[in-house]
Each structure stands twice: as C-alpha cells, then as structure tokens.
C-alpha cells in the first residue's frame, strides 16, 4: 500500500517542522511539501497533487478557509484537514462549508492526528469530539431560529461574548471567563461588530440592547 502524501500549510515554522517530524517518523505517510500561506498551499497542491492538505486557518496572504474553498473547486480530489488553535464556531462552520473534510485542534495527540488523516484519506469526515458537540448544538439552533431577523446569525457563543462585553470586560477577562484564548475572543468580537454593523464595542452593546439580544 502506498504512503499517504501530505502537504503541510502552516505559517509557524516550528509547528510546521513538528508536523513534518511526526509524519515522517510514522509508517504510511510522506510529506510532499510545505506552504507558509494560503496561496502557497494552493500553488503547492496544484504542483504536487497531495492526498491530504493539513491547513492552518490564520495565515498571511490568504487564510486557510479561503484556500480550502479554492482547493475544493480546482482540486476536488485533494482532501483538506483544517488543523488550528481556533475552536471558534464560525471558523468551524466556514471551514466545513469551504469543503474541509476534517477540523482538528492543534492540541490533538499525535496518534489521534495520524488516525484522523487515515480516516479522511479513506473517505470519512472527521471533526474533533470537543468541537463536534458544539457544532451539532449550533446547527440545531440555527435551524430552529426564526428567520428574517437581521441578527439571527449571532451564535450562542457570540451572544455569550457580547453579554460579557456589555459588562465592560476586556478580551483577557472574557477569555478567562469562557476558557478561551485571547486570540479567539478577539475574533469573536470582530465577527460580532461585523454582524451588528457596529463601529466599536460600545456601539455593538447599544445595538444589542435595542434589539433585545441582551438585557
């Protein structure tokens, strides 16, 4: 049986080297290339035709979700697994909508990562268990939410962050309160401002209260 050919798309050199080492020391895997940003990932995939692309989300030039969407169009046989530090709900939804066949966090055990790659290569779709529970709950909420309201798109986690914002908490405090990273909270805040068409946090809080989204 031939090795699974993997392309690693990751902008952090240490992480990229670590993934390469894990794969090259494991039977059945060959790292065919590396990319430091989303555009490089697309170019490398077109040139090398890997079986699997391990795709980071936050990368320069073109992020991992956008790169995944383009790869799904130009190379539909290449399977993308998003491997990221972000368990941000919108990233999960966007990644899956873009065509990713897996969504894993970087704190996954090496053995679990290898097994996930094997399963995706075999045709399965994999979402890490800790993410899958929230994904199902969020999907159910979106299906049952009344349509037509301009702010229905706010997820449950975004509402939680919004309530804490309204309480005057900064990103670090919110991160501690919700057991998230500051980077994840920052992304939530940016998305909230975008969805509410708010200029800043205070404006977002004012809009949310007027719309009855928070007390």
Q: Domain residues of the chain, as ranges?
A: 4-132, 146-210
The CA distance from 7 to 72, in Å, is 15
Render pLDDT for 11-54 as a digit per residue (tens, 0 to 9): 999 999 999 999 999 999 999 999 999 999 999 999 999 999 99
Q: What is the reported pTM?
A: 0.65
Residue 6 contacts residue 29 (beta carbons within 8 Å):
yes
pLDDT-based confidence at residue 209 (cuts at 50, 70, 90): confident
% the chain with pLDDT above 70: 86
> Residue 132: what pLDDT?
66
End-to-end C-alpha distance for the chain, whole angstroms: 60
Render pLDDT for 121-148 as a digit per residue (tens, 0 to 9): 999 999 877 676 666 655 555 554 444 4
Q: Domain spanning 4-132: which superfamily?
A: Response regulator (3.40.50.2300)
The CA distance from 17 to 166, in Å, is 42
Give the Cβ contact number of residue 102 at 10 Å.
24
Render pLDDT for 155-204 as a digit per residue (tens, 0 to 9): 888 889 999 998 889 999 999 988 888 888 888 888 888 788 777 888 88
- Give me the mean pLDDT over the 55-67 stretch: 88
Instruction: Given CATH 1.10.10.10, say whether it is the number of domain 146-210.
Output: yes
DSSP assignment of 1-56, as one string?
-PPEEEEEE-S-HHHHHHHHHHHHTSTTEEEEEEESSHHHHHHHHHHH--SEEEE-
> Residue 147: what pLDDT?
47
The answer to whether domain 4-132 and domain 146-210 are alike in fold is: no
């Amino acid at each position: 049986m031939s090795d699974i050919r993997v392309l690693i798309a990751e902008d952090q050199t240490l992480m990229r080297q670590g993934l390469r080492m894990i794969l090259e020391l494991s039977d059945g895997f060959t790292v065919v290339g590396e990319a430091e940003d989303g555009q490089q990932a697309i170019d490398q995939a077109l040139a090398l035709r890997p079986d699997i692309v391990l795709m980071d989300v936050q990368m320069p030039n073109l992020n991992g979700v956008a790169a995944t969407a383009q790869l799904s169009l130009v190379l539909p046989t290449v399977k993308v697994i998003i491997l990221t530090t972000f368990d941000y709900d919108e990233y999960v939804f966007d990644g899956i909508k873009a065509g990713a066949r897996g969504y894993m966090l970087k704190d996954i055990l090496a053995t679990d990562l290898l097994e996930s790659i094997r399963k995706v290569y075999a045709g399965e779709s994999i979402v890490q268990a800790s993410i899958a529970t929230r994904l199902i709950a969020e999907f159910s909420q979106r299906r049952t939410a009344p349509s037509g309201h301009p702010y229905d798109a706010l997820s449950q986690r975004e509402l939680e962050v919004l309530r804490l914002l309204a309480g005057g908490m900064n990103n670090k405090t919110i991160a501690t309160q919700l057991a998230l990273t500051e980077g994840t909270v920052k992304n939530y805040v940016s998305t909230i401002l975008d969805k509410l068409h708010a200029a800043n946090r205070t404006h977002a809080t004012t809009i949310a209260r007027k719309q009855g989204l928070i007390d």
